[in-house]
Chain A
Amino acid sequence: MAEHPPSDQTPAGAPAEQAAVDRHWRRLALAAVGVAVAVGGLLGFVIIPAGQREHSHLSMDAAMRRAAGLEAGSPAHPQPPAAINSLPVSQVSWDPAIMQRLAAGNTARGAELAGQVCAACHGETGLSVTSAIPSLAGQTSYAIYKQLHDFRTGARVQPDMTAVAQSLAVGDLASIAAYYAAASQQYAALGMRDLSGETEIVRVAWEGDTRRRIPACMSCHTNGVGGPIETPALLGQNREYMAAQLNAYASGARKNDVYGRMRDISRRLTPHEREQLARYFQGTL
């Protein structure tokens, strides 16, 4: 037995022969793989677009650019144009700038404004004075901010709130939102509740109704289920207010839900169900 080899490339015994065999295998392997990639690439980037461009009336260059993903569209079909003008329903869009603004909202300023402007209707502690007015303490900052902003721009209309929101600066909206969201630590206006209701109502709340294409309320309206960012918390909210909103969505009187999510869901619920769901989510302490 000869000396120990430095690596597994030249085992002891017959180094020259072994090296020749190794080289042969190496070349064969590299060649086989190279051919495979070349054929695959040729077919995908050249042959297929060449064969498809007749249908789309594209030049070879354009077809290849589309096949390579350098341009939008399919090499086999014409590409429709994108633009048409129309008005959006809400101006709020979530992006890092707005989210930072909310995170930086000054809760001291928010407390001050809440006391001056909001408490008269929404209660000293964010627990509102009547059932027709929503409680705010413990609501998410995104939900409050969006509604305030929509009142301000007119995407959502309610005479008192429109006036209030338009009197505030945009930065103040963020502060108020941050204040009420933080208030959940102190006041349990919105949060865990004992829930009870008819079986069918509980089913809609937790399982949804596949036949009517109604998702379970809890698939969005639970904290931490990954639904739309601006979804408001519901548990413990005032029954009359919630029922009124569902009816307003159903009639189209309220339409600041982006892409009509709540409008479509509310229309699929019966008036009785809207009433019962509002009762269910108010719950009891």
Chain B
Amino acid sequence: MAINEQAILNSELRWAAVVGGIIAVIVSAVLYAAIAMHVNPPSNREYVDPKTLHLSAEFTEANLGTRIDPDGRVVARLIATQFEFVPNCIVLPTNREVTLRFATPDVIHGILVTGTNVNTMVVPGYVAQVHTQFTKTGDLLMPCHEYCGLGHTQMIATVKVVPPEQFRPDAEGRAACGDAR
């Protein structure tokens, strides 16, 4: 064998340097997205009791859906339950920071909104929270993407993204799908 041991070691070390470079590129890309674009995975460590969720202040039926909170933020609150989202359709405006808050009274669910970076697990015991800004209008699908039981297949909601002039909350700040024109 004509290759000597040192030559082999040197070639492996050169390659290791290339590998180091690849790792550095990956790490840099993640850091850029995190710092320049404030992209974090959803990590809202906020507890809520699944067993009394329907009795709670924030997640009772009448308080669900899109609302402009007193501080001016657009917040949509949804329940993920076996086997549907409540409400089944929410309306949100484009070009404005919005926050979506999810809770579940029963099992693990998850959501994504097609065509966007909105994606989170919904775990009983926690309020799952996603911040985003929609740029395009349309009726987007928001399916449950984590197995939650035999009805998982049919668990889908709609996110209606409308231009700001069509987003007309009522006196209480609430906006529902039927209102958008």
A–B direct touch, CB within 8 Å, in complex?
Answer: yes
B-binding residues in A (CB < 8 A): 43, 47-48, 51-52, 55-56, 69-78, 80-91, 93-95, 208-210, 213-216, 218-220, 225-228, 258-261, 264-265
**Further 5 A-B residue pairs, CB within 8 A, beyond A76-B38, A87-B60, A216-B154:** A210-B154, A213-B155, A215-B154, A219-B151, A260-B61
Contact A94 to B83, CB < 8 A, known contacts A47-B31, A74-B131: no
A-B CB proximity, top 3 nearest: A215-B151, A51-B35, A219-B150
Q: Does B57 contact A (CB under 8 A)?
A: yes
A-binding residues in B (CB < 8 A): 27, 31, 34-36, 38-40, 42-46, 51-52, 54-55, 57-58, 60-63, 69-71, 73, 75, 79, 81-84, 86, 88, 97, 99, 101, 105-107, 127, 129, 131, 149-151, 153-156
A220 x B46 contact (CB < 8 A): no
Chain B nearest Cβ from A116, distance in angstroms = 32
B69 x A71 contact (CB < 8 A): no
Q: Determine the distance from Cα of A43 to Cα of B23 in the docked complex, in whole angstroms.
A: 14
Contact of A95 among B51, B83, B86 (CB under 8 A): B51
Of chain B, the residue at the smallest CB distance from A43 is B31
B154 x A209 contact (CB < 8 A): yes
Of chain A, the residue at the smallest CB distance from B80 is A259
Interface majority SS (helix, strand, loop, mixed), chain A: loop
B31 x A225 contact (CB < 8 A): no
B57 x A84 contact (CB < 8 A): yes
Chain B nearest Cβ from A230, distance in angstroms = 11
Contact of A213 among B52, B54, B88 (CB under 8 A): B88
B58 x A82 contact (CB < 8 A): yes
Q: Determine the distance from Cα of A72 to Cα of B45 in the docked complex, in whole angstroms.
A: 5
Chain B nearest Cβ from A207, distance in angstroms = 9
A93 x B57 contact (CB < 8 A): no
Residues of the A chain whose Cβ atoms lie less than 8 Å from the Cβ of B34: 48, 51-52
Residues of the B chain whose Cβ atoms lie less than 8 Å from the Cβ of A89: 54, 61
Of chain B, the residue at the smallest CB distance from A218 is B150
Chain B nearest Cβ from A162, distance in angstroms = 21
Q: Determine the distance from Cα of A209 to Cα of B154 in the docked complex, in whole angstroms.
A: 7
Q: Which of A73, A80, A93 has the most chain B CB within a 10 Å cutoff?
A: A80
Of chain B, the residue at the smallest CB distance from A82 is B58
Residues of the A chain whose Cβ atoms lie less than 8 Å from the Cβ of B107: 226
Of chain A, the residue at the smallest CB distance from B150 is A219
Contact A80 to B69, CB < 8 A, known contacts A48-B34, A86-B63, A94-B51: yes
B156 x A55 contact (CB < 8 A): no
Residues of the B chain whose Cβ atoms lie less than 8 Å from the Cβ of A56: 38
Contact of A225 among B63, B86, B150 (CB under 8 A): B150
Can you sample 30 A-B contacts with CB below 8 Å?
Answer: A43-B31, A47-B31, A47-B35, A48-B34, A51-B34, A55-B38, A72-B127, A75-B40, A76-B131, A78-B73, A81-B69, A83-B57, A86-B57, A89-B54, A91-B55, A94-B51, A208-B151, A215-B150, A215-B151, A216-B150, A216-B151, A219-B83, A219-B149, A220-B82, A220-B150, A220-B151, A227-B82, A260-B61, A264-B86, A264-B88
A52 x B57 contact (CB < 8 A): no
Contact A48 to B154, CB < 8 A, known contacts A69-B43, A74-B40, A220-B83: no
A72 x B150 contact (CB < 8 A): no
Residues of the B chain whose Cβ atoms lie less than 8 Å from the Cβ of A213: 84, 88, 154-156
